[in-house]
Structure 1
């Protein structure tokens, strides 16, 4: 128990007055002999015990009355020394749960709207000279103001303008910030209010740390949990978990089929939800479909198409309506749309008389799966040249380059032309600037020369340096092991059927050995664990090295169309989508972008139109990093004086872990986590919030007890003074 005016307890010393009067006051008299008194002495002795008892009780009642009066003036409270009462100034801290579960509508208002109303009521009932600090909290804490803690009008404006984020719930950052905020208040009467829907995720993620922090808060302040949800009404929720499209290169002039995956994360079926898909916000071209019903826990794909009429990064936007929680009802994705994809094949073993014998035959056919009459109209343009015709200009308009069984130089294989020094230097620049390079093995490759020119001794493009060639017999061929595919990677589907079986069925007679190091990454291995597919990121580009040949000289893998053709398709799609890589992130994750001109200053434009200064690029290579991504939607990074429409776009999606489990904890479950019982309030019951502080003060009850005691003392005094 604490006291708001503890110094008034000194009034309890007044209890000494009746004690002094009772024990030390003596009437002054003279002894006079009187014969009649002898006869009264016996009567007085008979009643003296009763009189002493009555006077002692009367003394106790009067002393207790004085003590209760002093106690009432000291204004006792039940929550400790920091608990406030009516009329006493308060250092209040508001923690608002701004995760997107607070956007749920489980009644006439959303949970966040109820939190705002509850906070406004508390602000209106704060005593004079009180202070306020407001903290927004999802999986991170943000101090929102006001600038002056005594400016309650500004605090009301901050509360009214609160907006939800696309982040998941975690109360620990907010509680930690609130504990630090206690030191910023000058008074001893402190209150911490947490406005939340009691979402289970927010308490479970770091339950032990939350318990410890609440224990610390309890020692210095009154902790009040304001429930903003309606536990009697479950949330109906259907969220968009992904937008997928075929493993092809999106290109102009088509309607690309897309699958919008919906998932019911609530406990009730949701009926008549409408799903729509549009490109770059073009409402007139969007497609939509209504789903009659989605059962609890069910994932439901909706097939729609997106019209691609312009090349470049395009924004696919899927929306769904018809549930109670809008926070996960929109998903944006950047898709890199190409008008044409230009591929150069440098063939180290060309055969103009019989093209089927050339090193690039299988690759070219895999890239161009159309009739020869349609090749000129196909969006992928392929140019195949022998090594001696591969000049630097060849890479000028190129997106992807294949080196197939090509000697690293003219000196590698007598009589067989190799790469020129000028081409190698240009190839290095091509990859670093974002190009894709695929290197296929073969008899013309001399490992030592490749290491010297293309590897660690030269332009350093190889994922790993090469060693010798491994041979085997037809009876015991090398086998590709698709189950070893690295995850995550663009080839991870090779672990699944039908890719897995058809790939494992291929036989290889020779492979090039590599020396694995930290410079590269093994994407897939052989059954004996030798690296087969390797990759390395170089600048903004990437190099893929195949330890086997990409023709039928070293095995029959190229003839396994289900595997080889899929590998070519996935690789081209992977390289062509590089503009979208890093452009799709989850709320709260940083956006990292490499600008062409690192000398400029940059700003981040958020989906709500606010601009955040980022400064210049930094690091090696110079990158711009934007960490302020709490909202879902489309962000842009703008250079000085840059047109908004020309700025690169980035799509931020909601943190879907927020709706994996929509359970709200009961008060008893929260108590079990905390290990003590905080003060629970219900948003939407202003009379409860307005009187909570008065309930914590015992003054009224002490005064009532004083009144009852005074009444009892009067009755007892009358009884004692009555003649019997």
Structure 2
């Protein structure tokens, strides 16, 4: 047995009070000779023994009542077999959740502020001689005090200085790692304190977590789940931001698509959404009239990029109590022009008969007089001219009905793709599938699919195939999920090559090494961009080196299909060109927590790079990295993307070369829905669950768990029973005999 308030045991000394009163109240007799006294004496002698016994019974009851009251105030408790002695030292892990849902505020303090207060109370409740480690947890573990330390001042300091991140939460791997750590630790008493909020997302693998907690309890590892924060019924957030235009020319109106989600149950009206570039005042703004609860809506916003180089675009909502998702950023690189080499496999006798006629007009959708001023610059050559062409002068090369690719140009094409070039292939009647499959497929490993048998009849307009009309998943065609963007399903395909995706096995090498090695087994995974309505691939792509290859299954003119005369052809071609030309800039936008990797020119090798985190320029955190050689290419790598927003990387000695990249948070973390009552019960069955609020004593909660079952209530009931018994007996003993 142990006592939570042992100092109050001194109250047992009050047992002496009834005894002293009893002694003081004893009658002192004076002998007086009186004849009548003889009769009284006989009466007293007859009752004296009974009265003495009654007085002693009442005295004992009063002493016991005082002693039990003192014990109840000292709060005794029975310790479990694993408990040990009161004050036994604890070896513990303090896990402080710093995922971005804890940035939610009640108007006075954020959940993270409350979590730090609760964590400090845990430290203060630790018995003398205990050792604690401190880990910041989200979807990863940041061990700020890696091993348990006896220096509680250090523990308090790191808790007060802990920073919130914009990461999502995933508590199963966090708890697994913590339990494994304590299994290896020494010490009789091992405890885990997880300070988090009540958001259900982090507990999405609750069944596995519950099994883990039960297993830990069986191994004498106590787990305390300390939950802070009140329910958050309403929240709006920017759940997605992307460039819808495909290309990023300067001084052209670019369309951006932002998705706003209502994570609450009630509808919200008049939601203002604005877009700004490089932190300047908003360039565009729109209003969502009604956004129902649980719904999401996409809006289009427009902006211009005024100069070449890197830019940042941000979409904002009016601030609410979860600020982390009220803004979403995108980094991109603006270009002055995009140069495209069109290889015409069959020029024909008239311009309209050319294989690239529709391609050229789609790439330059302006009057002929303005074509020279348009940002897409096209150069047209024929197949015999291909070996002499300088591919590095172009951002993309498009083959249209080219019978076979010259083997002499294969090495140059591979080198071009390794450096970040793009290749687009439109087959046709002249295409020799066997040559493509052998040379560009088996030998070079460039093709995402082999060209199979030809399906359909070009001469028959009554029988045709169509493209899928919904459920677009590839980024190149996702915009057609919005009915307002038009449709791809209206195009008719009379003849096409069956595309058979090539087998692919992930390389064991890191991605940054794979990107520089063009070997077939290390090319990117083949992906279906677009399907026919029967599910067969219509367009496929794969990354190769720093470049990309896009393979269509039908012609670029109207010989086998009527897609070139459909409204969707122009945006489809522009988005495909954007995927080729901006392949090396895809890494400018990463998910919060992911590594940023960017390849640089040879002159930057070995130079220092200062990386400024999101925030005000004067106060933002800065890190230093060096451009290193990775698989023969100067590469900048940065893994500290714990906060959403725009980062700036400045290369020493090159003031004009500042790279902007953006980290975007996981939109799922914006859903603040709480655990259900049944889920809380499941957790309570496997661990101690504490719903912490300001003013709650963590010491009381934790020590109650340590000492076991408290006995103060039974003792207090015994005190009441004794008081009633003493009163009844006192009245009974004092009755007239």
Q: TM-score, normalised by structure 1?
A: 0.75
Partner of 1:632: 644
Q: Distance in 1 between matches of 2:449 and 2:174?
A: 47
Which structure 2 residues correspond to residues 672-687 of structure 1 after superposition, within 5 A? 672-675=682-685, 678-686=688-696
Q: 1:567 aligns with which of 568, 572, 575?
A: 572
Range with greater deviation from structure 2 (427-436 or 145-154): 145-154
**Can you list the C-alpha shifts for 1:324-373, whole angstroms capped at 9, x where unaligned?**
1112122111234221111111222224x621222221221222211111
Q: Which residue number in structure 1 is paired with residue 698 of structure 2? A: 689
Gap change, CA 1:191 and 1:578, over 3 Å in 2? same
Aligned equivalents of 2:299, 2:527: Cα separation in 1: 36
- Are 1:518 and 2:516 matched, yes or no? no
1:237 Cα shift? Answer: 1.6
SS at match of 2:247: coil
The answer to which of 370-379 and 489-498 deviates more is 489-498
Q: Distance in 2 between matches of 1:225 and 1:432?
A: 51
In 2: Cα distance, 1:450 partner to 1:669 partner: 57
1:2-27: CA deviations, max 9, x gaps? 899xxxxxxxxxxxxxxxxxxxxxxx
Corresponding residue of 1:361: 357
User: Are positions 1:214 and 2:219 aligned together?
Assistant: no
Aligned to 1:348: 345
1:430 is displaced (CA, Å) by 1.9
* 1:102-123 deviation digits (Å, cap 9, x = unpaired): 1111141111111222333443
Distance apart, 1:148 and its partner CA: 6.4
Q: Indicate the residue corresponding to 1:25 in structure 2.
A: none
In 2, the alpha carbon distance for the partners of 1:217 and 1:703 equals: 33
Task: Identify which range, 389-398 or 180-189, moves more after superposition.
Answer: 180-189
Cα distance in 1, alignment partners of residues 123 and 288 from structure 2:
45
Q: CA deviation at 1:252?
A: 0.6
Q: Is 2:625–2:638's contact at 8 Å kept on the other side of the alignment?
A: no
**1:377 counterpart = 2:388:** no
Query: Do residues 537 (structure 1) and 533 (structure 2) align?
Result: no
Question: How many Å separate the matches in 2 of 1:433 and 1:635?
Answer: 25
Q: CA deviation at 1:477?
A: 4.2
Please tell me whether the aligned partners of residues 556 and 564 of structure 2 are also in contact (alpha carbons under 8 angstroms).
Answer: no
Structure-1 residue corresponding to 2:334: 337
2:36 aligned residue: none
C-alpha contact (below 8 Å) 1:99/1:168 kept by paired residues: yes
Equivalent position of 1:670 in the other structure: 680
Pairing 1:79-98 to 2, within 5 Å after superposition: 80-81=80-81, 89-98=89-98
Q: 1:694 to 1:496 in 2, by over 3 A?
A: closer
Structure 1 residue 431 and structure 2 residue 431: aligned? no
Q: 1:693 to 1:559 in 2, by over 3 A?
A: closer
1:194 alignment partner, SS class = strand
Alignment deviations for residues 294-327 of structure 1 (CA, whole Å, 9 cap, x no partner): 5533435555432301223422122223311112
1:576 aligned residue = 581
CA separation of 1:162 and 1:429: change in aligned 2, threshold 3 A: same
The residue matched to 1:562 in structure 2 has which SS? coil
Residues 604 and 190 of structure 1: CA distance in aligned 2, closer, same or farther (over 3 Å): farther
Q: Secondary structure, in 3 states, of the residue corresponding to 1:685?
A: coil
- TM score, norm. by length of structure 2: 0.74
Counterparts in 2 of 1:591-670, with a 5 A limit?
Answer: 591-594=596-599, 605=611, 606-607=613-614, 609=621, 611=623, 628-635=640-647, 646=657, 648-660=659-671, 662-665=672-675, 669-670=679-680
SS at 1:482's partner residue? coil
Cα deviation 1:112-162 (Å, max 9, x = unaligned): 111222333443454433332222222223322176612111111111112
Three-state SS of the structure 2 residue aligned to 1:213 is: helix
Question: 1:556, 1:330 → 2: CA distance?
Answer: 43
Cα distance change of structure 1 residues 272 and 110 upon mapping to structure 2, 3 Å threshold = farther
Aligned equivalents of 2:688 and 2:267: distance in 1?
35
Q: Which runs of 5+ in 1 are unaligned?
A: 5-49, 410-418
SS where residue 253 of structure 1 aligns? coil
Other-structure match for 1:47: none
**Within 2, Cα distance between the matches of 1:292 and 1:702?**
62
DSSP-derived class of the 1:139 partner: coil
Please, which moves more after superposition, 664-673 or 114-123? Answer: 664-673
Q: Is the counterpart of residue 487 in structure 1 residue 505 in structure 2?
A: no
3-state DSSP of counterpart to 2:336: coil
Q: CA deviation at 1:602?
A: 8.4
* C-alpha RMSD of matched pairs (Å): 5.0
1:162-213: per-residue Cα shift (whole Å, max 9, x none)? Answer: 222222233333433443454577654555433222212223x111222123
Partner of 1:254: 252
1: CA distance, partners of 2:456 / 2:123: 81
d(CA) in 1 for partners of 2:580, 2:295:
34
Cα deviation digits, residues 581-629 of structure 1 (max 9, x gap) = 2332322344454555697598894546353869956579997765554
Residues 501 and 255 (structure 1 numbering): CA distance in 2 closer, same or farther, change over 3 Å? closer
> How far does the alpha carbon of each residue in 1:647-694 deviate from its partner, in whole angstroms, 9 at most, with x for none?
64432211111223x2234777512344257252523015x3344456
1:572 offset after TM fit, Å? 1.7
Whole-angstrom CA distance in 2 between matches of 1:402 and 1:199: 50
Q: CA deviation at 1:397?
A: 2.1
Query: Structure 1 residues 95-104 or 446-455, which shifts more?
Result: 446-455
Alignment CA distance shift 1:298-1:491 (3 Å):
closer
CA distance in 1, matches of 2:471, 2:286: 37
C-alpha displacement of 1:266: 2.3
Q: Encode CA deviations 1:553-585: one digit per residue, 9 max, x unaligned.
A: 4x3425532243343233123223324423323
CA contact (8 A) 2:396 2:577 kept: yes
Residue in structure 2 matching 1:307, options 304, 308, 312:
304
- The 8 Å contact of residues 406 and 445 in structure 1, kept in 2 or not, is answered as yes
How has the CA–CA distance of structure 1 residues 183 and 612 changed in structure 2, closer, same or farther, with 3 Å as cutoff?
A: farther
Tell me the residue number matched to 1:442: 428
Q: Give the equivalent residue in structure 2 for 1:237.
A: 235
C-alpha separation in 2, matches of 1:525 and 1:254: 31
Alpha-carbon contact 2:233-2:673 (below 8 Å) kept = no
3-state SS of 2:474 partner: coil
8 A contact 2:472–2:481 mirrored in 1: no
Secondary structure of the structure 2 residue equivalent to 1:144 = strand
More displaced stretch, 270-279 vs 568-577: 270-279
Q: Write the mapping of 1:310-325 to structure 2, written as runs, cut at 5 A.
A: 310-325=307-322
Asked if the contact 1:599–1:617 (Cα under 8 Å) also holds between the matched residues in 2, the reply is: yes
Partner of 1:194: 194
| Structure-2 separation of matches of 1:483 and 1:301 | 19
Partner Cα separation in structure 2 for residue 528 and residue 295 of structure 1: 35
2:153 aligned partner: 153
